Amino acid sequence: MNATLQSWLTENLQALKDQHLYKVPRILETPAGGRVRMNGREVVNLSSNNYLGLANHPKVVEAARKSIEEWGVGAGAVRWIGGTMKVHDELEERIAKFKNVEAVLVFTSGFTANSGCIPAVLTSDDVVISDELNHASIIDGVRLSPAEYRKSEGWVYGHKDMNHLEDILKRAGNFKKRMIITDGVFSMDGDIAPLPEIVALAEKYDAFVMVDDAHASGVLGRNGAGTTSHFNLYGRVDIQLGTLSKALGVVGGYIAGSRLLKEWLINRGRPYLFSTALPPMVAAALIAALDIMENDPEPMNRLWDNAKWWKESLASLGFDTMGSETPITPVYCGEEEKAVRMEQMLWEEGVYALSICYPTVPRGRARIRTMPSAAHSREDLEFALEAFKKVGRSLGVIPSTAEV
């Protein structure tokens, strides 16, 4: 072991601990669900993205099992070298139809879809104009590209600030291409991007739009087809990213757009070119998950029923859910210490809900992030609400006189 590296690691791990940024994942001892056992404790889990409960839906599991029996467990190679199977093509065709676009290219995760697509469509003659609250995988994708984007140079706009976006577009006329990129649903706040306004500005200033719908897939739009569907902007959003790992319950990501875009990414998307294809059982499970999303409205209805009940109940107790419009429901705490303490106390009450602090969100805007889902029964959420009431009162997050 190199001593310099070892001491560097020790020092920097200690620094993370000192700043309360050190992470220790808890261990799930049961399948992902609304109520789980974690680190030996039964808890209501409010920190999963399994929106529709598809991660262990019997039909999805059965599709994976049948695929394993027929095809084994691995694809064996990157897609273009010999890893593309019929089931990969079928999955892409199914998603393209679902999203109502010409073509879809699947990657092994949403993260790699961002880091593959963004640098592939940009050169040093271009500029990226990005919402300040965009997801880390967008930021990494942008960093991998040679295009101009730095915040210090003014190419990042205030969260959903359309006047700011327009000011930037007015200054960006000299670049060859202008890309506006935004989360469809913001992952830490649960609010929705003003996509109609973004698209209108893009059309006015000759920019193209990429929307990351990781948290909108399965949640917004027709059968969960995302923000483009939600706002009826078909044909006006150039690049849509989706994940197959959240509402769809398995793993993977995709880029949806034109046939030319797909053709380009097959040739220039580096994670597509250099990372092994998804296992065929994953693709088969995802086709089964899509079948459910397209034909059974029940999981999405239950998701929204639960989300509305959860938000209204929290608000009636006096909690601030920070303008969330989707199932992602932040519960505002403010100071980092208060959020961390609240997470610990909720855990002791049998509720797993993670605190989210700086640098994931701005300093002084710490929160507990909750994710009600179709996998929760109303009893699960009632149980969690009691815990929030008790802990919120004791920490002074809500007034102690609040009534349900």
Active site residues: 187, 215, 246
Taking the complex as a whole, the smallest distance from the CB of residue 31 to ligand PLP amounts, in Å, to: 18
Interaction of residue 110 with ligand PLP, rule CB under 6 A: yes
Could you say whether residue 245 binds ligand PLP (CB under 6 A)? Answer: yes
Q: Is the peptide bond before 119 cis (omega within 30 degrees of 0)?
A: no
Q: How far is the CB of 24 from ligand PLP (least distance, A)?
A: 20
Q: Which is nearer to ligand PLP, 34 or 110 (CB)?
A: 110
CB of 117 to ligand PLP, least distance (A): 11
Distance (Å, whole) CA 235 – CA 178: 18
Scan residues 172-201 and list those touching ligand PLP (CB under 6 A). Answer: 183, 187
d(CA 220, CA 226): 5
- 253 touches ligand PLP (CB under 6 A): yes
Pick from 189, 212, 336, 343 the residue near ligand PLP by CB under 6 A. Answer: 212
β partners of residue 5: none
Q: Measured at CB, which residue is nearest to ligand PLP? A: 110
- C-beta closer to ligand PLP: residue 193 or 385: 193
* Site map 80..109 versus ligand PLP, x via CB under 6 A: -----------------------------x
Distance (Å, whole) CA 293 – CA 60 = 11
Nearer to ligand PLP, 354 or 387 (CB): 354
The answer to whether residue 215 forms part of the interface with ligand PLP (CB under 6 A) is yes
Q: Does 135 bind ligand PLP (CB under 6 A)?
A: yes
Distance CA 25, CA 45 (A): 14
Nearer to ligand PLP, 118 or 233 (CB): 118
Question: Contact between 137 and ligand PLP (CB under 6 A)?
Answer: yes
Q: How far is the CB of 49 from ligand PLP (least distance, A)?
A: 7
Tell me whether residue 273 or residue 395 sits nearer to ligand PLP (CB atom).
273
Chain centroid to CA 16: how far?
25
- The distance of closest approach from Cβ of residue 27 to ligand PLP in the complex, given in angstroms and rounded to an integer, is 19
* Structure-token match 């580096």, residue found: 270
Q: Which residues contact ligand PLP (rule: CB under 6 A)?
A: 109-111, 114, 135, 137, 183, 187, 212, 214-215, 243, 245, 253
